Structure 1
Amino acid sequence: MSSFFTRTQRFSLAPLLFLLALLTMNLHMADAQIGVCYGMMGNNLPPANEVVGLYRSNNIRRMRLYDPNQAALQALRDSGIELILGVPNSDLQSLATNNDNARQWVQRNVLNFWPSVKIKYIAVGNEVSPVGGSSWLAQYVLPAVQNIYQAIRAQGLHDQIKVSTSIDMTLIGNSFPPSQGSFRGDVRSYLDPIIGYLVYAGAPLLVNVYPYFSYSGNPRDISLPYALFTSPNVVVWDGQYGYQNLFDAMLDAVHAAIDNTKIGFVNVVVSEDGWPSDGGFAATYDNARIYLDNLIRHVGKGTPRRPWPTETYLFAMFDENQKSPEIEKHFGLFNPSKQKKYPFGFGGERNYRQVVVDDEFNGTVPLKSDM
């Protein structure tokens, strides 16, 4: 190639190749944003080693586990899969009230597997709220988070493993317009100290975001195309920001709620999102297929308020036949037989071609062939 291009021509290609490399990097970032939650509430699910193999064969590079299942952690060794490791709500009290319990938990479930298991986040509790059925647990969330964090920090791993908790959208008091997003007044005394800790620790807030439930609860005011990412035009204008889908609007309401506390910047990871294929209003195979496919394509773009890729975990890997109510049984991306329920991929199945330049430029730029 060096005999084909003059030095001037090679030089003039450099900005283009740099832009192509940057584009490719951004596309890879978009691909890498998708994870899948590995729930185990089924009596017909394959063993953990086969599940990890299924993640790998489908290029699913991130997993959420809801508890430190030892078989799953063993299977994840040297898999390259990044992990959200869950602390179940049932453990919160013991970890909050006893530092030794937290240290032992970290030793047993983190240090015994690190670094061959790429633990990225520890989710201390899931959907705990200071109001409602789990209210008695709320007092333990932040102390448990802090004790786990200190155990991680003592090992010098606090920059590699971030400790957080996962909330749901019921803690949002106002979500419309998104810029006016705010947390409920009766949860601020619970959430504000958690947000303060997240600012201090440089950790994201994990949020379970389900446009399906927002749509199915209010189909009169929310259109199905807006919920499914299929609206051809902006549906909601909020100042300078235009919203073409409900996911962005809900997520930006969370971003605004955090910003409006004035505590500090905290990034958001979508720790659950999905659409059921059966069992309830608008829970159809086609709606689920359209929603999930569009979500996977969309998260690399970010939201109007946060225009960078949004790390998002799809719920869930399998239909889980021991969940209730009925609709909860139909969120799987795969059947328990390990067959894909939907035809789309998860970001890694794209084809590549290479643009290669000679040694003087010393660069290789992969291009997406199916964009």
Structure 2
Amino acid sequence: MAERRRKIFDVCVIGTGAGGGVMIDELTHAGMSVVALERGPRLGPGEFMGHDELTNIIRATGFAPKLKETLRQTEGETAQPRHFSMIGQCVGGSNVHWGAMAWRLRPDDFKVLSHDGPMAGASLADWPVDATEMAPWYEKAEAAYGVAGGAVHNALQPGKHYPNPPHPRRSGSPVFEAGVKKMGYAPFQIPLAVNSRPYRNRAACTNSGMCVMFGCPVHAKASPLSVGLPRAQATGRLDLRSEAMVHELVLDEAGRIKAARYLDAQGRQHEVRARQFILAGGSLGSAHLLLMSRSGRFANGLANGSGLVGRNLMYHVLPAVYYRHQTVTRGWLGPLAGQAVDDLHASDPARGFVRGAVITEAYPTTPVVYATSAGNAWGGR
């Protein structure tokens, strides 16, 4: 087994996305030596400048270039080769191509079991923290990411101002706003982790329109690539290894993790040792690694005495409805999203549903996508 270094790090962080990137930044500034292992490549402004719709959206290989995946929508279907590129497999993770809507959880989101009670077929639990305890940490994250927005008076964002002023209203926002107000809802401008002005050595948004599913070439959109990792690397305490596919966590005699084994881009085996390990591979990657790390002592994988690792998946769901309007809205111009309503977020027994959603006015796709999917709905006809 080839080993790049015999050094024992204070902490090994597996994954460099939203969670891992923050931990790497905090730990290095606390004086700890950190090795970060990321299975994807390190992308940068050079890869983002082209705004390649075919690669990023149609072929879906922009953020998972070397991964061989299959995908199916239902149990009855046969899985077909296809990339699921919404999982950003690159340094910075999915935050590199996210839409940058910077929500807070509502107070009732932290206490779903208490609010809605046990439900057949659902595994509910209250968070061990609440909205009040999280508030100063939200503010710290909003300051680091340069969230842009105005004062919002609802349960999502309780009457506060953000580090940056709101972006100019999107040209399509009045259409959405008029419609939801007619239905009795209260629209508000979505807080975005996209600079509306130069902020902390990051440029302001250039309104290119290529936001969600694209990396930001000027780093106006906040992500670990533009916020946490540069700060961590400046400390000299970070060893960042990209294209490092971790496939096993190695235990010592006491049953504690002592090393992570990974393959590099050439398929060579390496082992890195640390005193502490943080799994930040996302809802799929972290569970997968725990299940792969089987041994005689842990036949069902690590931390899986309950048998629940890999179950009760918590993920991001975004149903979308597209509409045509007689007014020219230029929806592609500016950041991803404009207005939202939160009136249908909470459970409502009168409507017969448990837990709702935020409804947003956004433009999450591009001209090429419309041209290849809308058929006769595209163009002068």
TM-score grouping bracket, smaller chain normalisation: under 0.3
Greater relative contact order (Cα < 8 A, sep 6+): 2
Higher helix share: 1
TM-score (norm 2): 0.21
